[in-house]
Amino acid sequence: MLKNDMRDDLLKSFKLLDKNIYDLRIGKNHVEIASYDYINRVVADLFSRSYKVINVDNFRNDKNFSDGLELMNNGMYWLAHEVLENIWRDSYGIEKETLRFLILICAANVHNQRGHQETAKM
């Protein structure tokens, strides 16, 4: 199991393998690698070939609140943030404030997955 304190060194190593990789987040049951292009197969092989490519663009227009909650429950905070932000833009009042709160929780958890616990606490 990978630990958050390994994240920065791991990201540096992956960047040497594939210059398109720009972020890495370690969840409880998964690792997310963000790339400007699809993940290089060499990087995927490092994870025992058990990987799934998720295109964030598929979530950029998603306005389904239950999708956002499901992504949060699965520890996929970056994608949950994308979905909830789409709903937040068109909301008002207490709904907008509630969504803002959930988005901030997602952002804190993304920082935590990056191994930046002090930033996550802010």
Q: Give 9's DSSP letter.
A: H
Q: Which two tokens stand for residue 44?
A: 């995927």
Interval 52-77 mean pLDDT: 77
pLDDT at 79 over 60: yes
> pLDDT > 90: what percent of the chain?
20
What is the pLDDT confidence band of residue 31, given thresholds at 50, 70 and 90? confident
pLDDT tens track for 92-117: 999 999 999 999 999 999 988 888 76
pLDDT at 18 over 90: no
Q: Do 97 and 103 touch, CB atoms closer than 8 A?
A: no
* Token pair 């207490």 in the structure block, residue: 94
Residues 82-92 as b or e (16 or more Cβ within 10 Å = b): bbbbbbbeeee
Radius of gyration of the CA atoms of the chain, in A: 15
Q: Where are the alpha helices (DSSP H) in 25-113?
A: 41-46, 65-73, 77-89, 93-113
